[in-house]
Each structure stands twice: as structure tokens, then as C-alpha cells.
Amino acid sequence: MTLLPEAWPSLDFEDLQWQSRYAEHGPRAARRETTTEPYRAAVPPRIAHRSMRLSDAVSVLADEASTALTRFDESLGSEVAPFAPLLLRSEAAASSQIEHLTASARQIFTAELGGVGKRNAGEIVSNTRAMRTAIELSDRLTTETVLAMHEVLLRGDHRHEAGRFREEAVWIGTSGRTPVGADYVAPAWERVPSLVEDVMEFARRLDLPRLAQVAVTHAQFETVHPFTDGNGRTGRALLQAMLRSNELTQNVTVPVSAGLLTDTAGYVRALTDYRRGDIEPIIRLVAEASFEAIGNARELVDEISSIRARWRTAVTARRDSGIWQALDVVARQPVLNASTLAAEMGVEAKNVYPHLDRLVAAGILTKKNEYQQGILFRNDEVLGALDAFAARAGRRG
């Protein structure tokens, strides 16, 4: 198939009419009169068959970032078990933090066990599940995959329809009641299904620079804004699916969202530049975020490796003792109960209590009877390492 011209097009716009039952000003608002006002909605270009023209500097940067991602992933290949779940949760938490959803590692892990507590923690748990779904479906980059991610993300949210494209206008900025004068109005909802099909066709191509393709797919998806809520988190889950599909990662989830957190204002600017026809800022930012994420994740991995080494000096047992398997579970699930540990070890719950008692006696686990949850065990060292990771992700430089 012949590719379209290389120059990347900017957004077009169309004039639409907004019908509201509420006037913004004056006594008519009290009478709930219907008003009609014009506004401009974006019309994104089709990108499925477009080529990308990059400067040498951006092309080299993206290539170097791709190599760094692959090397980091391969370096953990032989010891992936303890770190893969932690890095997945770290990416989900960082992606949520961009949406101003924050919670401590302890709150997030407690919420995973069904705890009643901070709402943000529950939403981050949903984001973790969406990330996991994205990776599981990374070999099928289709519209159905996007809907499946969103359904997992917003499952149980009665304010929005999970796993369904929007059938209303969405916008960014100004009044929450009208898109008139908004900073950005996403495409009319009737355009959404075909636009998502188009961007996923672009995502499946095999003839593009891989990391640049990931960045542009993400930017186009955010431009389409296909849902009433959860667009950013779904888009970043799709980014992870593409990293896996493009074989830039195979073993672990590199927390690229944590890299984006170091410059969220720059992230917004890069998306704006993309919509004006300049694809290089978002490619550059995703590449730089990859380097940031690798450095931050290496620090986390090194810290948890040191913690595990200290555990081995604090516990004395035969080489074939189940307590070593229990410690592996604690490393990736630092808040747990007896049922969780038993399920992870593949044994009956009654068989894990001796291990839990020994780990409490050794100072590795803290035991606490939590309201409505019963007895939980936690390791504050791993939780502290995860909170430190989150703090580094939010700092510039």
C-alpha cells in the first residue's frame, strides 16, 4: 500500500451546536431554559497509513531509548518473579498519579485484599488490573482490546459506562457544564469508533520505528479521547501493551508513566504540539521518560534486592524449607493475609501460619488486626521502597 505524504497533519475543526438546559448567566438559569451555543470540536487526521519523518536527533534518541528498554528488561529476565508484579503496580500507581490519584503503597496493597479505605487506592487497583489486561492482550492490538482495558479500569463505576465508547461530548478546561470556550474539545462522539479503528491499525504496523510508533499511537489515542472517563489511564495501559507487542519489553513492565511524572506540564505541551502537527515533542518525551523510568526502577530493584538479602541473614532454615518461598511472596506482596500467602504458595492456609509466625518473630513481618479485614501482615521495608519510588517519580531532574 502506498504511504501518504510524510508531513504530519494538524487537527481540523468543525462547528457544532451545544444544547444545554442551563444558561450560564442571568435569571433564565433559574427557569432551566434550553440554550443553544456554537462550539468547535476537533477532527483528528487519519494516521493508519502515514509515514513519520523524524530529525536525526530524535531518531537517535528514540533508538537509544529502545535499546535501553530492551537491555533493562533482559537484565531482569533471570530474576523476574519478585520484581514484575511490583513494577506493574508502580506503573499503574504512577499513571494514576498523573490523574491526581495518589495513595501509599500500603493503602494500595490493602485495597487489593478488599480493604475498605481510601477511594484513590481502589482506583489504582483497578488501574493495575487494566495494565495487566493490556499486557495479556498485547498480541491483539485491536479496538476490542482497548474496550477490554477500559472495562476492567472502570468496572463498578456507576458514573461512567465501562468498556463502551462515549456518546456525548467531552472537553478539557473552562466550565464543566459546556464545551463553549474549552481549551480542547475532543471529536464528536459519532467519529470515535472509526478513529479508534484507525489508530489501532497504525499501532499494528511493522514498518515504523518502534518507540516512535508507541508515542504517536498514545498521542493520537489521547486526542480522540474515546471515553467519558479513564482516557489517560487507558492510553497509558495501551502504551504498555505496545511496548510488549513491539518486543521492547518481554519480562517486566517498565514504569514509563513514572518517567512522564517528572514533567507532567511538558507531557501536556507535547500532546498540544502533536495536535498542531509536530510529532517530535511527544516522541522525545516518551524516550526521555523511558530513561527516567529505567533509572528509577533500577533503584527500586536494587533496594528490594538488598532487603531480601537482609532477610536471608535474619532467618535460619533448611534450603528446602517453605519459608523461603514465603519470603518470595512477601517481596512481591508486602501486605497479605494467610489466605493470600497460602494461595501463592499452593498450600492450605493452616500450613502457612508457622511461616508467618517465624517471620513476625524475625522482625520481617508486622502483624495487625485490621477493621473488617481480620489479621494482616506487612513488610514496611518493601512498602517504604515503593513509596520512595513514587516520590522520586514526582521529582524533576
Distance (Å, rounded) from C-alpha 161 to C-alpha 177?
19
* Nearest Cα residue to 111 out of 98, 127, 102, 124: 124
Task: Report whether 168 contacts 22 (CB < 8 A).
Answer: no
pLDDT tens for each residue of 157-184:
888 999 999 999 999 876 778 899 899 9
Cβ within 8 Å of residue 378, ≥6 positions away: 106, 109, 334, 335, 336, 365, 366, 368
Q: How confident is the model at residue 1 (pLDDT cuts 50, 70, 90)?
A: low
Report CA-CA distances (Å) from 237 to 78, 95, 300: 25, 9, 21
Is 90 exceeded by the pLDDT of residue 8?
yes
Query: Which three cell numbers mark 383?
Result: 512498602
Q: Where are the alpha helices (DSSP H) in the chain?
A: 56-75, 80-98, 105-112, 119-136, 143-153, 192-203, 210-224, 231-245, 256-260, 264-275, 280-314, 322-332, 338-345, 353-361, 380-393
What's the average model confidence in pLDDT over 1-15? Answer: 77
Percent of the chain with pLDDT over 90: 74
Cβ within 8 Å of residue 343, ≥6 positions away: none
AA letter at 19: Q
Q: What pLDDT is recorded for position 5?
A: 45
Q: What pLDDT is recorded for position 153?
A: 92
Is 80 exceeded by the pLDDT of residue 356?
yes
Task: Report whether 352 contacts 338 (CB < 8 A).
Answer: yes
Is 70 exceeded by the pLDDT of residue 30?
no
* Nearest Cα residue to 46 out of 236, 191, 243: 191
Class of domain 12-298 as given by CATH? mainly alpha
Q: Of how many residues is the chain composed?
A: 397
pLDDT tens for each residue of 367-388:
998 766 789 999 999 999 999 9
Is 60 exceeded by the pLDDT of residue 219?
yes
Q: How many CA atoms lie within 13 A of 39 on its CB side?
A: 25
Cβ within 8 Å of residue 67, ≥6 positions away: none
Specify whether the backbone of 277 is left (phi greater than 0), alpha (psi in -120 to 50) or beta.
left
Distance (Å, rounded) from C-alpha 212 to C-alpha 60?
11
Specify whether the backbone of 268 is left (phi greater than 0), alpha (psi in -120 to 50) or beta.
alpha
Model confidence, pTM: 0.89
More confident residue, 176 or 148: 148
Mean pLDDT rounded to a whole number for the chain: 90
Q: Which fold has domain 318-389?
A: Arc Repressor Mutant, subunit A (1.10.10)
Cβ within 8 Å of residue 59, ≥6 positions away: 209, 212
Considering only 106-110, 170-174, 335-339, which range has the smallest mean pLDDT? 170-174
Is 60 exceeded by the pLDDT of residue 326?
yes
Q: What pLDDT is recorded for position 83?
A: 85
Q: What residue ranges do the domains of the chain occupy?
A: 12-298, 318-389
* Nearest Cα residue to 94 out of 325, 386, 396: 386
Query: Which three cell numbers mark 7?
Result: 508531513
Query: Which three cell numbers mark 388?
Result: 520512595
Report CA-CA distances (Å) from 189 to 40, 194, 196, 384: 13, 10, 11, 44
With cell 530513561, the residue in question is 291
Is 80 exceeded by the pLDDT of residue 220?
yes
Report CA-CA distances (Å) from 332 to 231, 329, 375: 28, 5, 19
Angle at which helices 380-393 and 105-112 cross, to 10°: 120
* Nearest Cα residue to 218 out of 95, 74, 102, 101: 95
More confident residue, 19 or 213: 213
Q: How confident is the model at residue 25 (pLDDT cuts 50, 70, 90)?
A: low
The long-range contacts involving 264-268, CB below 8 angstroms and separated by at least 24 positions, are: 264/98, 267/98
